[in-house]
Structure 1
Amino acid sequence: MKAIYILLTNTGTFFNQAIKTVTDAPYNHSSISLDKEFRNLYSFGRRKPTNPFWGGFVKEDLVTGTFSWYPSSTCAVYKLKLPKRKFEKVERIIQAFEKKYKNYLYNYIGVLGVPLNRPIQVPASYFCSQFVAEVLTRAGVKLFDKESALVTPDDFRHAPDLQLVYQGRLYDYPFIHSKDNYYPDQYRSFPFRKYVRQQYRKGVWRTDSPYQHTYYFRDGFLKPKKIYLSRKLGKLKRFGKKLMS
């Protein structure tokens, strides 16, 4: 027997909160992992952390991906034991998705059909829980007596074949890989506005920081924000040069 893991999360994003107002469920995103460390974690969601409207098949990265923008995310982890042959079939199905990931889009329309109890299936399009349920169904693992396009993340919480192994803050999960990269408590009061002003003065006006302390983003957790902010500051700097030339 081998095990796969279903990860249910609540990041607190706008889209997540919008779904929560309809479902009234504690978790509104689901992913499937082939290992308990979440090194091989897959779902349908944002392809870029900064763009909630460009979605599709993603191999989720807890270090530099979308989750790293939301260090206070909560989660529930469920374990499902499978015979070796079915586990390998799940693995092959996911690999087929990954091989042609550019062909898949997020099924935004399908999400609207769930509260109406009307499955809306769009070719090569899935939403997160639909994808997880579809992979399991194709592998011969039937958890629900309904179509994959009607499965919600909350349905996994009530599936009798799943075993709850953890519930709490995502980055407190004891088996998460590269544990040393995660220190979410340090960033709850990070002086983001001061950091922006510091970077603006340094990058645009080339003046020293007026603050006695220099603020830095640590590699790992908030690195995506640093990269995104650096790009914005770079564009602003080039615009300032054009105005002064």
Structure 2
Amino acid sequence: MSEQQVYIVLSDTGTLFTNLIKSYTRAPYNHASIAFDSELKEMYSFGRKNPRNPLHGGFVKEDVLTGTYSYYPETTCVIYKLSVTDREIEKMKRILNVFIRKNDKFLYNFLGVVGVSIKEPIEFSNSYFCSQFVAEVLKRSSINLWDKLPAMVTPEDFRKSDRLDLIYEGKLFEFEPVKRSNG
């Protein structure tokens, strides 16, 4: 069985919304995404559907060069790789295909973010926040990084996982594979 990589991207765009979250969490990164290539071209999360409207959120295929990140060139990030099996990748892709096919059925779980702060999971069907979504995809693929519900996972939990290997920290647009694809 061959080994493959998925990438966990934690980021901070510096927006009012992320600064508000950061003032509470005191964590350097407050957004989580999962990517299936090192150039971050196949990257997914729950976030802004419209870069200019933080309140219109849901499942998104993130595009570093033309999506929300393109509006925030000073975005900082940390990127981790996670070694997975072919079978785990296959499961993740199957799960993602459900999100892709039913994209309009998913909402951003704003109350779930509040639930994390009061240490009480708040879950609704078809509703996720970014780190909850990434944790859910991993869990449904039989990858358990923590002993907690996905609805309680924060971006900071990814930073503390010993199963993830740090490959980059700095400005998103200075990450070499992104620079090459932008060049």
TM-score (norm 1): 0.72
Q: 1:166 aligns with which of 160, 165, 168?
A: 168
Which residue in the other structure is 1:72 paired with? 74
Q: Which has the higher strand share?
A: 2
Which residue in the other structure is 2:25 paired with? 23
Cα drift, residue 179 of structure 1: 2.4
Distance 1:163 1:35 in 2: 15
Q: 2:131 aligns with which of 124, 129, 132?
A: 129
| Amino acid in structure 2 at the alignment position of 1:154 | E
Which residue in the other structure is 2:181 paired with? 178
| Amino acid in structure 2 at the alignment position of 1:168 | G
Which residue in the other structure is 1:103 paired with? 105
Q: Structure 1: which 4+ aligned runs deviate by more than 2 Å?
A: none
Residues 44, 61 of structure 2: 8 Å contact kept: yes
Cα drift, residue 146 of structure 1: 0.5
| Amino acid in structure 1 at the alignment position of 2:65 | V
Percent of counterpart pairs with the same letter?
A: 50
User: What secondary structure sits across from 1:71 in the alignment?
Assistant: coil
Which residue in the other structure is 2:84 paired with? 82
Which residue in the other structure is 1:2 paired with? 4
User: What secondary structure sits across from 1:98 in the alignment?
Assistant: helix
For 1:67-106, what per-residue CA distance to the aligned partner results, in whole angstroms no more than 9, with x for missing partners? 0010000000000000111111111111111110000000
User: What secondary structure sits across from 2:55 in the alignment?
Assistant: strand
Which residue in the other structure is 2:153 paired with? 151
C-alpha root-mean-square deviation of aligned residues, in Å?
0.8
| Amino acid in structure 2 at the alignment position of 1:159 | S
Greater C-alpha radius of gyration: 1
Higher RCO (C-alpha 8 Å, min separation 6): 2
Cα drift, residue 122 of structure 1: 1.2
| Amino acid in structure 2 at the alignment position of 1:26 | P
User: What secondary structure sits across from 2:41 in the alignment?
Assistant: coil
Q: 2:65 aligns with which of 63, 66, 69?
A: 63
| Unpaired stretches in structure 2, ≥5 consecutive residues | none
Distance 1:74 1:28 in 2: 11
Which residue in the other structure is 1:54 paired with? 56
